[in-house]
Amino acid sequence: MTDPKCVFLIDNDSSARKGLARLLRKAGYDVRDFASVNDFFVDAASGLTGCLVLDIRMPGMLTDEIQKELNTRRICMPIIVVTGDDDPETRDKAKILKATGFFRKPVDGPALLDAINWALQMDKPANKHKEVHRNKCKSA
């Protein structure tokens, strides 16, 4: 199991990934960053905790494949989407992932930090909404 303050950052744009990772580390988060969803899944184990910050407009897995793989591996954590695109198709992809946040690049740093903090608070075991969140993950 990982530190609940762990943020898994997936973005194929290396400058965006480095900038976001720097912001998150400065805010006190343990950051594990990946250039692709496939790289994340190579390293991922079941029971991961934390928050997934994901650019969903990347080469590789399709959105429904990502959700299926998360479910198969029993990885259920809040997902925050960051993207350069703000169109209906991208928002639909975020809904498929049951994203708790949606940000257009360039990302407002303080707003992203607030969203991650909120997502992690909602995902705490003591939170009464935790079971609802877990059930949403199972139903995908």
Task: Assess whether pLDDT exceeds 50 at residue 66.
Answer: yes
In a domain, 34, yes or no: yes
Mean pLDDT in residue range 72-90: 92
Contact 53, 7 (CB under 8 A): yes
Q: What DSSP state is assigned to residue 46?
A: T
The average pLDDT across 97-121 equals 96
Segment 38-43 mean pLDDT: 91
CATH of the domain at 114: 3.40.50.2300
Residue 15 lies in a domain: yes
User: Which residues constitute the domain of residue 120?
Assistant: 6-138
**The tokens of 103 are what?**
């940000």
CA distances to 3, 5, 34, 65, 107 from 61, rounded to whole Å, are 26, 26, 14, 6, 23
Flag the least confident range among 47-61, 80-94, 108-122. 47-61
Asked whether residue 26 is domain-assigned, the answer is yes
DSSP 51-84: EEEEESSSSSS-HHHHHHHHHHTT----EEEEES
Q: What is the mean pLDDT of residues 97-125?
A: 93
pLDDT at 116 over 80: yes
